[in-house]
Amino acid sequence: MERDIFTEEHDRFRDSVTRFVADEVVPFHDAWEREGMVPRELWIKAGGLGILCTDVPTLYGGGGEADFRYNVVVTEELAKVGASGVGFPLHNDVVVPYLLRHADDDQKQRWLPPMARGETITALAMTEPGTGSDLASITTTARREEDGSYRLNGAKTFITNGIQADLVIVCAKTDPDASHAGLSLLVVERGMAGFSRSPRLEKIGMHAQDTAELFFDDVIVPAENLLGEEGQGFGYLMEALPQERLSIAVSAIAGATAAFEATLTYAKQREAFGRPIGSFQNSRFALAEMYTKITIGQQFVDRCTVLHDRGQLTIDEAAMAKWWVTDLLGEVVDACVQLHGGYGYMREYPIARAFVDARVQRIYGGTNEIMKEIIGRSLGV
């Protein structure tokens, strides 16, 4: 089914992103998976080509296109080739909105231009060893000092871009006695005394993605690094989470499409009992089911993208996209591994990597159970 949300300008932008991914990412991703990290130079190259911060105003060095479809193009092109290590979606889709909405002009001048150039890599740190889903229970504290700065103490875990990040938006309690109302967002920068990181966390998939634990031991964060207003952090997170969840859905549906297409080709070529394995009724049904669900899912995600650009995407609609499409991705990659037979279990086959990389998408960005809670609550139950 035709997708009709993109213009010729998006298509031209996509051509340049596709070329960048083919030349600068695909040939090296295997090596990055072994090394557990993507080189910083990739960020600089992407920045040079205008692939980062497309929606940041040109005044702050960005692409000046307040249009989420450009973000979608970048996220899709990476997902299509299984480039799960490249943390651009987290930077573009998740971190940038906080700065665009809540940073003052001085902060924007300081932080956004190097982010757009790929010189500053970013992260968002909400999850802690003791809590992920229940954000109001975080224990990282930021106590106000007499000079107005904050003394930050605590730890965050599973942080994407954690080791390479130069700028981390940290969610902390400025009022430990209050629940949601006690949360604030502070920007912690590389080099601040008392800020340290764990070695790279060993994951079962997404091996090239830099994921780490962050530690804050009496870090003095200047008042100029408070994002927005003290005590408003929870509201800011709630505002930004729909775009993060839509971004995950965009990536998941692109990944499912790529897995399906590779499997369709395989099923036409691989023979058993003297005929292509795709021609067995069971395989045809499996492929037909996947194709149908992916087509339906893509239309929903595209509709969410259009609504998001109009400022009309609701929290529960974004949650629907996130849970349904990431569940679908899990179902698709599982069926695709099965259709590949033993080869589907070999790491050299992209489908094997897609299988392990897919699993976490039901967990991060808010687990799918939490998505269903959000949707359920929106129904008044």
Q: Does 131 bind ligand FAD (CB under 6 A)?
A: yes
**Residue tagged 């965009």 (tokens):** 250
The window from 18-26, 283-291, 345-353, 360-368 that contacts ligand FAD (CB under 6 A) reads 360-368
**Of residues 76 and 210, the one with the C-beta less far from ligand FAD:** 210
Q: Does 87 bind ligand FAD (CB under 6 A)?
A: no
Exactly one of 244, 317, 331, 348 is catalytic; which is it? 244
**Residue tagged 């604030």 (tokens):** 184
Q: Does 133 bind ligand FAD (CB under 6 A)?
A: yes
The window from 118-126, 262-270, 303-311, 348-356 that contacts ligand FAD (CB under 6 A) reads 118-126
Residue with the shortest CB distance to ligand FAD: 132
**Of residues 16 and 131, the one with the C-beta less far from ligand FAD:** 131
Q: Does 295 bind ligand FAD (CB under 6 A)?
A: no
- CA 18 from centre of chain: 19
Residues with Cβ < 8 Å from 200, sequence gap 6 or more?
A: 36, 37, 163, 210, 211, 212
Q: For 118-217, where are the alpha helices, taking DSSP H only?
A: none
Q: Does 85 bind ligand FAD (CB under 6 A)?
A: no
79: tokens are: 């997902």
Q: Point out which residues pair with 302 in neighbouring strands.
A: none
Nearest CA-CA partner of 56 in 85, 97, 25? 97
User: Of 81, 126, 227, 320, which lies in the binding site for ligand FAD, with binding defined by CB under 6 A?
Assistant: 126
Query: Smallest gap, in angstroms, from Cβ of residue 242 to ligand FAD?
Result: 15
138: tokens are: 């975080």
CA distance 16 to 93: 19
Per DSSP, 131 falls in state: B
User: Are 240 and 250 spatial neighbours (Cβ–Cβ below 8 Å)?
Assistant: no
Identity (one letter) of the amino acid at 157?
A: T
**Number of residues binding to ligand FAD, judged by CB under 6 A:** 22
**Of residues 74 and 123, the one with the C-beta less far from ligand FAD:** 123
User: Of 11, 217, 224, 369, which lies in the binding site for ligand FAD, with binding defined by CB under 6 A?
Assistant: 369
Query: Smallest gap, in angstroms, from Cβ of residue 364 to ligand FAD?
Result: 4
Q: Does 18 bind ligand FAD (CB under 6 A)?
A: no
209: tokens are: 């993605």
**Of residues 248 and 277, the one with the C-beta less far from ligand FAD:** 248
Q: Does 179 bind ligand FAD (CB under 6 A)?
A: no
User: Are 130 and 162 spatial neighbours (Cβ–Cβ below 8 Å)?
Assistant: no
Q: Point out which residues pair with 124 in neighbouring strands.
A: 169
The window from 102-110, 317-325, 337-345, 361-369 that contacts ligand FAD (CB under 6 A) reads 361-369
**Of residues 252 and 267, the one with the C-beta less far from ligand FAD:** 252
Q: Point out which residues pair with 125 in neighbouring strands.
A: 170
**Of residues 264 and 363, the one with the C-beta less far from ligand FAD:** 363
Residues from 138 through 177 that contact ligand FAD (CB under 6 A): 158-160
Q: Point out which residues pair with 272 in neighbouring strands.
A: 275
Catalytic (active site) residue 317: no
User: Are 150 and 157 spatial neighbours (Cβ–Cβ below 8 Å)?
Assistant: no
Q: Does 243 bind ligand FAD (CB under 6 A)?
A: no
Q: Does 299 bind ligand FAD (CB under 6 A)?
A: no
User: Of 155, 314, 363, 378, which lies in the binding site for ligand FAD, with binding defined by CB under 6 A?
Assistant: 363
Nearest CA-CA partner of 197 in 163, 148, 225? 163
User: Of 360, 371, 374, 375, which lies in the binding site for ligand FAD, with binding defined by CB under 6 A?
Assistant: 360
CA distance 122 to 274: 53
Nearest CA-CA partner of 111 in 126, 130, 93, 98? 98
User: Of 97, 132, 182, 344, which lies in the binding site for ligand FAD, with binding defined by CB under 6 A?
Assistant: 132
CA distance 246 to 238: 13
The window from 40-48, 65-73, 127-135, 349-357 that contacts ligand FAD (CB under 6 A) reads 127-135
**Residue tagged 């967002």 (tokens):** 185
**Contact residues for ligand FAD, defined by CB under 6 A:** 123-127, 131-133, 158-160, 203, 206, 211, 360, 363-364, 366-367, 369-370, 373
Residues noted as catalytic: 244
